Amino acid sequence: MKTSRTIGIGILGFGTVGQGVWKHLTEKKSDLESRLGVKLDLRKVAVRNLKKKREVKISSAKLTPNPFEVIDDPKVHVVCELIGGTTKARECTLRALRQGKVVVSANKALLCEHGPEIFQAVRQHGGQFLFEASVAGGIPIIKAIREGLAANHFELIVGILNGTCNHILTRMGEDGLSFADALKEAQELGYAEADPTLDVDGIDAWHKASILAWLAHGKWAPRNRTLVEGIRNIGPADIDFARRFGFALKHLAVIRRNFEKDWMTVGVYPALVPNGDILARVSGVNNGITLRGDVVGATTLAGRGAGQDATASAVIGDIIDAIASLTGSARQGLSLDDLQAREKQGQKIRMAELDEIVSPFYLRLSLLDKAGVSEGVYRIFTKHKVSIARVIQYEHPNQGRGTVTLSTYPVSERKMGAVLAELRRLKTVLEEPFLLRIFSPES
Ligand code: HSE
């Protein structure tokens, strides 16, 4: 009788995602075994605290406080790195890869900061590094770019990549919750990162956007050439403006590529998205990504972008791929060698200059309530030839100030930056002006 090969799986980190992976792997074990023609050995899990009470059932014999015990176990072939962070996670990932093992990772920060070193270790030692869970939770966006859409060059990739921000903005916009209450709710639902500032200040989305830009164009966008803004400063006047003029407020990641001029831009920021755009209807914890490819046209993928089950789905998808390749099934789509060739081409791409990045803008100003103040503001727009499209003024009786919200026609980042710099110098502008981009696929 033919005995099937046994594949050992080890997990590093047993937080929300680690427990989700364990739970679903345990439940689906026999189904996966018969589909893949292997025996699965869910061997070991490295945890920080052996005594901690956990929601999933696991025998204490499977737990170890030492991640190296999991990695170095010769019967562990696939190591799931779900620790997070970039120090211990880097050490563990490289240790496993140097033994030629497969590492499945949800760690976008690690990939962004140490991608070249990780792939070097893969090439040198013949292992694999799979990272579907690092971007957009349960949506198979990495596979979509590497496999289903591999025929395309992408001039635009635009997405809602942070479930926590999208949950917060949806609850603020549709249900009137405060930022703090909506954040607390997202944390309770298990969407937020251990440090929620990574979510609300745009860092998590920036990591994910960098990975997509690298995958699509072969270039890691430098942090100092990427606009990274979070959602902390969004207030009721911004939500009101969006509602009145037919926009949804979304935290977007925008990757544009100009093939003629060979530039790329990567930015993550809150933006006003016209209600007619499919992304305006991606609400709650969901993520959505529209890719505009030269062959396929615009394709949008949407689904749960954070949370235990969605992320576990992506991790298990990678485990299944890993087992297929360990047992000799063919892999299709862009291989690591293809990505290396893409990186060579990516070397000639430059980051776009500020004159080349154009969009309509939205601006909120807190102004001294006195005759002639608005005129002083508008004069600055006129001087820089920035045309205003819409304005709303709100009065705050007896406070000596008013709020003005306005939108502009499309203008470059450089011009809008110059307007902003002059506005900041006006004594009649009482608070830091609050600027948002209005998203349009065309600009
Ligand atoms: N904290 C992330 C989010 C989930 O809210 O989207 C993991 O990437």
Residues of the chain with CATH 3.30.70.260: 355-438
Q: Which atom of ligand 1 is nearest to the CA of 186?
A: 5
* Residue 315: Cβ within 10 Å count: 27
Distance of CA 314 to the CA centre of its chain: 14
pTM over 0.85? The answer is yes
- Give the tokens for residue 72: 């170095």
Write phi, then psi, for 172 (nearest 5 degrees).
-70, -45
Residue 208 annotated among the catalytic residues of the structure: yes
CA–CA gap between residue 225 and residue 209 (Å, rounded)? 13
pLDDT of residue 332: 62
190 Cα–ligand 1 center, Å: 9
Which alpha helices (DSSP H) does 327-368 contain, by range? 336-346
Q: Which atom of ligand 1 is nearest to the CA of 311?
A: 7
Task: Decide if 13 contacts 83 (C-beta within 8 A).
Answer: yes
* Residue 431: Cβ within 10 Å count: 12
146 Cα–ligand 1 center, Å: 22
Q: Which atom of ligand 1 is nearest to the CA of 305?
A: 6
Tell whether domain 6-137+309-347 is in CATH 3.40.1360.10: no
Per-residue DSSP letters for 95-164?
HHHTTT-EEEE--HHHHHHHHHHHHHHHHHHT-EEE-GGGSSTTS-HHHIIIIITTT--EEEEEEE--HH
pLDDT of residue 1: 47
Burial of 171 (0-12, 13-18, 19+ CB in 10 A): buried
- Give the tokens for residue 147: 């496999």
Ligand 1, atom 8, lies closest to the CA of 306
Tell whether domain 150-305 is in CATH 3.30.360.10: yes
pLDDT of residue 51: 87
Beta strands in 262-419 (DSSP E): 263-274, 286-293, 297-304, 350-351, 358-359, 361-368, 388-396, 401-408, 411-412
134 Cα–ligand 1 center, Å: 9
Out of 164, 183, 200, mutate this one to test ligand 1's pocket (max ligand atoms within 8 Å of CB): namely: 164
Q: Taking the CA of residue 285 as centre, how many other CA atoms within 13 Å lie in the half-sphere pointing to its CB?
A: 20
Phi-psi region of 418 (alpha: psi -120 to 50; beta: other; left: phi over 0): alpha
Residues of the chain with CATH 3.30.360.10: 150-305
Q: Which atom of ligand 1 is nearest to the CA of 135?
A: 8
Out of 204, 252, 268, 304, mutate this one to test ligand 1's pocket (max ligand atoms within 8 Å of CB): namely: 204
One-letter amino acid of 195: D
CA–CA gap between residue 384 and residue 361 (Å, rounded)? 14
Which alpha helices (DSSP H) does 176-307 contain, by range? 179-188, 197-200, 203-217, 236-244
Task: Point out the catalytic residue in the list 44, 108, 143, 208.
Answer: 208
Q: Which atom of ligand 1 is nearest to the CA of 287?
A: 6
CA–CA gap between residue 273 and residue 217 (Å, rounded)? 25
- CA angle centred on 113, ends 112 and 119, rounded to 5°: 75
307 Cα–ligand 1 center, Å: 7
Residues of the chain with CATH 3.40.50.720: 6-137+309-347
CA–CA gap between residue 188 and residue 39 (Å, rounded)? 36
Q: Which atom of ligand 1 is nearest to the CA of 192?
A: 1
Out of 110, 184, 191, mutate this one to test ligand 1's pocket (max ligand atoms within 8 Å of CB): namely: 191
142 Cα–ligand 1 center, Å: 16
| CATH superfamily, with its number, for domain 355-438 | ACT domain (3.30.70.260)
Ligand 1, atom 7, lies closest to the CA of 306
Task: Decide if 296 contacts 152 (C-beta within 8 A).
Answer: yes
CA–CA gap between residue 278 and residue 287 (Å, rounded)? 12
Out of 17, 162, 285, mutate this one to test ligand 1's pocket (max ligand atoms within 8 Å of CB): namely: 162
Q: Taking the CA of residue 295 as centre, how many other CA atoms within 13 Å lie in the half-sphere pointing to its CB?
A: 7
Q: Of 85, 44, 38, which is closest to residue 64 (Cα–Cα)?
A: 44
327 Cα–ligand 1 center, Å: 32
Q: Which atom of ligand 1 is nearest to the CA of 167?
A: 5
Ligand 1 pocket residues where CB is under 6 Å: 162-164, 191-193, 199, 204, 305-306
CA–CA gap between residue 423 and residue 369 (Å, rounded)? 16
Which CA distances in Å does 335 have to 128, 150, 238, 441?
11, 11, 44, 30
pLDDT along the chain (443 residues), means of 10: 81 96 96 92 95 90 97 98 96 98 97 96 96 96 96 97 97 93 91 88 97 97 95 94 96 97 97 97 97 97 94 96 85 78 92 96 96 95 97 90 96 98 97 97 80
CA–CA gap between residue 216 and residue 142 (Å, rounded)? 10
What sign results for the dihedral spanned by CA atoms 386, 392, 393, 394?
Answer: negative
Q: Taking the CA of residue 338 as centre, how many other CA atoms within 13 Å lie in the half-sphere pointing to its CB?
A: 13
165 Cα–ligand 1 center, Å: 9
Ligand 1, atom 4, lies closest to the CA of 306
160 Cα–ligand 1 center, Å: 11
